[in-house]
Structure 1
Amino acid sequence: MFLVTPDPIHGLVAAPRSPEDLTPGTEETLTAQGFTWNSDIEAYTRPTDHSSEAVDRTAGALRELGHYVFSAHAAVSRLTAPAPSLRPNRTTPMRPLELAELLTAPTEHPVREALRELAPGNWTRWSSRHWRPPEAWRQVLVSRVKAFAAGQPGDGRPAVAAYFTTTERRAADGMRLGWSPFVAALSDTEAIPDLRPTRTTVTAVPVGEAALAEEVFADPELTAALNRLAVLDPPDHGDILRVHLPTRAVTRIST
């Protein structure tokens, strides 16, 4: 999860909720947009071009990578939150990371009260742009798989299921297991193929090469859905993700 907002001191800020959000692809994308890591506020910052259009571009790029993103065109430094070490009636400026932490619990105070103040039109725009429950991500995945299957050559028999296997990615806190954005198998029967590797080959891969391959060749919407599902329901080594097209069911299978 990221918060993207302008800041009167730092320019444009992209603040992750946790180190797990700092995937190689994410860091490369932000660096390519001119951001640098600011350890003082634990966020990526860019001193130039912090217009509303820049906020939308950065937020959109992060969403394409599979992140939940909350964005604001006004500086969140104007917001204040109670300081734990001070008396209840004392306040200090809220940091972007603190706001991002609050937004992860929309049914708790004070976000619950803030959302109640949104006008109906604003609520509709906010929820449709920034929030998708797990089932919505599954349906995005099914739709993209259907589009992929429709473009494949074959004997005319409709595809029944697609399968995805796990892959490891470098993250800020080490390696993280997720779903590969490339279809491992596309079947026209109900039988589940054996996707276990018959042998293991270790190959040195330059840092960033896998992320670059995904950026160039993978379906962005499919990748985003797989990334979100991996966060919501982390896979184990050897697991398979089955996308059943007739029923639109998405199932994680442990082998």
Structure 2
Amino acid sequence: MLIPGKHQTMLSNMQKLLHYVRKRVEKNKETLDLNNPRDYVDAFLIKMEKEKNNPSTEYNIKNLVNSTLQIFYAGMETTASTLTYILLIFIKNPDVLGKVCKEIERIIGRERNPKMQDRNQMPFTDAVIHEMQRFIDLLPLGVARKTTRDIEFRGYNLPKGTNIYPMIGTVLKDPACFPYPNEFNPKNFLDENGEFRKNDGFMPLAAGKRNCMGEALARMEIFLLIVTILQNFVLKPELPMEDLDLRPDVSGFGNLPKPYKMAFIPR
């Protein structure tokens, strides 16, 4: 049964994306070297070859295509939503924005592009970006997990195959981990000397052994993109600062910011 509506466009676009990934997988298969994997697709194809006689294996073309698309889609969507939210928080907190810009000017200047090594010399900027990711709580439900055996957890019996949602939002707002759990405050990641302080409660994307494989890449992208933007542009919102709302427009599996308009004025 075909239910008409705008969702059909989304489904159609998804099929186009899957078709594109299938074509890329076929190109990899044509030039595959079992002893020299070039990327994720090659590694998956090699595993498929090793388990081709296992009828219950999960290593098949369908899972390869879907997982490859999910890696790119999830990486782009989460990073884009985080950047959109971060810029909104910046223009809502001009004092914090000013301190970050001063640190960028002092450590990097405007004559060169930022690099990841700069982050170690920019404790305030590093703390601000960490705090923004904590405050945003992009994926409050976390990514679903499933128990692989019967287990007991805090008096509850969880049978094998039970779906589990980690609820990482409860950790990001835990006062035992963060001194200012319900407000945006970079001091959550700064010590008494103004140096960056790591926090075991910081898990913005996932928790456990099967953590987000792209988390390190996302953190690198966010740092480089944000610093590059602030290095070259002044942010000017369309609305007065007091009218900007940091509450999410959509809150469920993910927290997405309310739409807003902003100008990027070259420095």
- With normalisation by structure 1, the TM-score equals 0.26
Structure with the larger strand share: 1
Structure showing greater Rg: 2
Q: RCO (CA 8 Å, sep 6+): is it higher in 1 or 2?
A: 1
What TM-score comes out, normalization by structure 2 length? 0.25
More helix by share: 2
